[in-house]
Amino acid sequence: MSKTIKLNIEGKDELELPVLEGTLGNDVVDIRTFTKGSGMFTFDPGFVSTASCESKITFIDGEKGQLYYRGYPIEQLAENSDYLEVCYLLIYGELPTKEEKAKFEKTVSRHTMVHEQLTWFFRGFRRDAHPMAMMVGVVGALAAFYQDSLDISNPEHRKVAIYRLISKIPTIAAMCYRYSNGLPFNFPRNDLSYTANFMHMMFATPCEDYEPNPVLVKALDRIFILHADHEQNASTSTVRLAGSSGANPFACIAAGIASLWGPAHGGANEAVLKMLAEIGDVSNVASFMEGVKERKYRLMGFGHRVYRNMDPRASIMRETCYEVLKELGLEDDPRFKLAMELEKIALNDPYFVERKLYPNVDFYSGIVLSALDIPVSMFTVIFALARTVGWISHWHEMISDPNQKIGRPRQLYTGPTRRDFVDVNKR
């Protein structure tokens, strides 16, 4: 028999609400008839207890520290797969066959170039603009360049828009970096893997050959895999909300990028590196930690809304972090030693232990990206690049759902009650 819950409204009327069961994770109370039956709204700022949609893409159990993409544990994907294969999995729901994988890789690599006019669009920005400011603008502008893939009711348009976004995002991300450093843009190289091509577009110069280091390519590919999706976080929910009105996919992804920019979300790995620079030296760690405990500021790269145990992505990234530092001979670099000291102290300090605050993926990904010579201002851009597939998979899932409705939350109004207008001379 299907489960229900009964609500007693002011001791009189009883309202019976169905309980829906997922394949994994918490059941949810279906409150769609609640307002009609009670005359009230529910109140849940920050969506702490609210499932905003049904989804088949990603599952997280924060208590157990589990993260699955389409049912596959993140550890297995990080170990055995590559980013483009994970993209296919997120979009289509299944791992590709050998032939499907080869076809997908070919199609993505054939869409890596951007419209030439887009390069002129960049020149309108100041050279010192934050790369995220450029990214949000340029991705939003894609709708002006690719007008033949904007009809969201047409499955072919949706498919082409998805390919275009996944293929062009690395090109645009690298262009943001090159422009802010006064460097010429590099054309993509379709003979390289997705991630090696990104490194080529970032770091190659016209003056000499550039061969991406395979250890570093693998590390960056892992960062991409680990950041590819994370169910209904702030930016994904933003993409869904923007898309629920029928907005085109390029505009929706630009909305996701805007949401990701905040320091409590995608800006965290940038904030980690800024924090390390502020602390400066291992000798300052103890006094810095006192400030954290006095709640003057937070220890960036620690804590997570969902994970109340070690973030599984953080464990993988920690391993990758050591591999990269070893490959580059940076084990004794003072900044990395400082990060490791912070990690050690926080993992043993009762303030963090009692609150179940563990290092999150951004603590380590910030260190890895910095070791790869990627400037701090580019960190959130890299996150946005990797998360684009998650955003677009959720957007696609939502648009394909026949029960999809425009997102329209309610509110608890606490402003002034009705009052009459007073002429400006009488106020």
Binding residues (CB under 6 A) for ligand CMC: these are 230, 233, 264-266, 268, 292, 298-305, 355, 357, 360, 362
Q: What is the dihedral of CA 178, 184, 189, 194, to 10 degrees?
A: 0
362 is a catalytic site residue = yes
Return the exposure string of 254-267: e unless at least 16 CB atoms fall within 10 Å of the residue's CB, then b: bbbbbbbbeeebbb
Query: Is residue 134 within 8 Å of 97, Cβ to Cβ?
Result: no
- H-helix or E-strand spanning residue 53: none
Q: Which two tokens stand for residue 397?
A: 């899932």
Backbone phi and psi for residue 19, each to the nearest 5 degrees, phi listed first: -110, 125
Given 130, 362, 394, 396, the catalytic residue:
362
The CB-of-56 to ligand CMC minimum distance in angstroms stands at 20
Q: Are 376 and 270 spatial neighbours (Cβ–Cβ below 8 Å)?
A: yes
Contact between residue 48 and residue 295 where contact means Cβ atoms under 8 Å apart: no
Q: By Cβ distance, which residue is nearest to ligand CMC?
A: 303
Q: Which is nearer to ligand CMC, 132 or 268 (CB)?
A: 268
Residue 95 C-beta: closest distance to ligand CMC, Å: 24
Q: 242, 229, 250: which is closest to 393 by C-alpha?
A: 229
Looking at 111, 230, 304, 396, which residue is catalytic? 304
Give the CA angle between residues 95, 199, 237 to the nearest 5°: 55
The packing angle between helices 268-279 and 379-400, to 10°, is: 160
| 82 is an active site residue | no
Q: Look at the chain and count its residues.
A: 427
Q: Which is nearer to ligand CMC, 218 or 387 (CB)?
A: 387
CB of 302 to ligand CMC, least distance (A): 4
Taking the complex as a whole, how short is the minimal distance between the CB of residue 348 and ligand CMC, in angstroms? 15
Q: Between 114 and 386, whose beta carbon lies closer to ligand CMC? A: 386
Of residues 49 and 154, the one with the C-beta less far from ligand CMC: 49
Q: Which of 111, 130, 227, 265 is catalytic?
A: 265
Q: State the nearest-atom distance from the C-beta of 357 to ligand CMC, in Å.
A: 5
Dist. CA 249–CA 418, nearest whole Å: 40
189 versus 298: smaller Cβ distance to ligand CMC: 298
**3-state secondary structure at position 47:** helix
Q: How far is the CB of 184 from ligand CMC (least distance, A)?
A: 33
**Catalytic site residue 304?**
yes
Q: Which residues of 71-95 are buried (b: 16+ CB within 10 A; e: fewer)?
A: eeebeebbeebbbbbbbbbbbeeee
Residue bearing tokens 């059941």: 27
Nearer of residues 170 and 359 to ligand CMC, judged by Cβ: 359
| Nearer of residues 78 and 268 to ligand CMC, judged by Cβ | 268
Three-class secondary structure of residue 10 per DSSP? coil
From the CB of 356, what's the least distance to ligand CMC, in Å? 8
**Contact partners, residue 338, CB within 8 Å, separation at least 6:** 276, 279, 280, 281, 282, 285
Q: What positions carry a catalytic annotation?
A: 265, 304, 362
